[in-house]
Structure 1
Amino acid sequence: MLADSKTYLAPLTEELTKTWPRNRIVNIVCHGHSVPVGYFKTPIVDSFHAYPHLLHKAIGGEESESGAKRFTQEVLCHRPDLLLLDYGLNDRRIGLERAAAAWTQMIKAAKRRKLKLILCTPTLDTGDLSELRQHALQVHALAEKHETGLADSFAHWERAIADGTPREALLSQSNHPNEAGHRLVVEELLRWFAPASQGNNTVQ
């Protein structure tokens, strides 16, 4: 089953409410592909309007196998308090089985360090969504199996589209979100930061 969004990050949320001198730096590391980096319409990179920075205000082009290879030296070395994994878009290159193995490797390595994780389903692109949907479902299943958090960006984007938002209105190019698309991701992430985000559910 999924972790409980009301309690999973409760200790971390408590840390975020502390003031000096009882507070400390809280490290949230976003490990993923070009979307969390902030690629909009290539070659434009606008990290200040990508969801990692927007998440911070509110409170690269690889797939998961490549990310898993550098996970210990380049990710865990930052000693994150919270780790977000986001590789679904690019994992179509390697298929479901290899992607599952790479995600599982990273999840287990993080859990051995007793890190909190939020797995992110992919944002959408302009192509056929059937294969991307399978990767989203797999990320969901991995979150349930390993009892981590889940930011279901894929489902949130689909709801927005069903409510009348054109898919292109959330994209800066065929496969990268614009600011509106990133804001939908932040809305998913903020669910895990209650009560720190209560009364501030709208991303500014």
Structure 2
Amino acid sequence: MPLDLQPGQTFLFIGDSITDCGRRDDADGVGHGYVRIIRDYLYARHLTQAPRVINVGISGNKVTDLAKRWKQDVIDHQPDVLSIMIGINDVWHGLNRENPSGVPIEQFVDLYHVILRQVQGASPKTRIVLCQPSVIEPPGPAEGNQVLQPYVRAVNELKREFGAAALVPLHTVFVNARKQRPDIDWTPDGVHPSSAGHMLIARTWLAETGLL
């Protein structure tokens, strides 16, 4: 379902380092990744209807961290559009054999339910955009993408269950991009996107929300 742009709207993006992307060292506060690309595209494409864009991504965050800061960083802003991208660290941090700190799939789903219900209850006007966790690939742990699959499926199901405005299929898109163009370094460390990777995220987000 396309997003309907109106003057004076607020778009809020929350997530981990992929969303954060140096926002606290950026004078605009939006970082240097996909959030900036989306904002700048909306400025150029839609001019007077372009929304205010807020980035509250924090590097290293998991869904447990989002739940702790949800009221202050999301509900209090009453955004018109809320974009959530979480799940990579929930899996990736669990692959550390010496000190695993991931979030089990059951807890991931439960907490995601909690924060989405809170949005629907406290800010019913907010339209939700859910982003699949992207990829965990070589040179990262080879098993990462296998462990990630239930989390991807969970986000797909949450989209249906909560009637989200859009599902951004980042996992599918990155896997396909890697197959079709293995010569492009989409995620240099297996997780964090390159500039091309951020462009891929932004383009997919804009396409799925009907704003491209």
Common topology (TM > 0.5): yes
**Aligned ranges 1:85-164 → 2 under 5 Å:** 85-92=84-91, 93-112=102-121, 113-114=123-124, 115-126=126-137, 127=141, 128=143, 129-148=145-164, 149-164=166-181
1:29 counterpart SS class: strand
**Match of 2:15?**
32
**Match of 1:202?**
none
Equivalent of 1:50, from 16, 33, 37? 33
Contact persistence 1:125–1:175 (CA under 8 A): yes
Question: How far off is 1:28 after superposition?
Answer: 1.1
Distance 1:95 1:142, change over 3 A: same
Contact persistence 1:48–1:54 (CA under 8 A): no
Deviation per CA, 1:142-195: give whole Å up to 9, x if none. 1111111211110111111221335x701142321111111111122112443x
Quote the Cα distance in structure 2 between the aligned partners of 1:163 and 1:119.
25
**Match of 1:20?**
none
Quote the Cα distance in structure 1 between the aligned partners of 2:135 and 2:30.
19
Contact persistence 2:178–2:186 (CA under 8 A): no
* Aligned Cα root-mean-square deviation (Å): 2.2
Quote the Cα distance in structure 2 between the aligned partners of 1:130 and 1:116.
30
- Letter of the 1:183 counterpart: M
Contact persistence 1:123–1:177 (CA under 8 A): no
**Match of 1:65?**
64
What is the TM-score with the length of structure 2 in the denominator? Answer: 0.75
Higher relative contact order, structure no. (Cα contacts within 8 Å, ≥ 6 residues apart): 1
Percent identity of paired positions between Structure 1 and Structure 2:
20
Equivalent of 2:202, from 169, 186, 190? 186
Question: How far off is 1:133 after superposition?
Answer: 2.0
Paired residues in the alignment total 174
Contact persistence 1:172–1:178 (CA under 8 A): yes
Question: How far off is 1:48 after superposition?
Answer: 4.2
Question: How far off is 1:49 after superposition?
Answer: 3.2
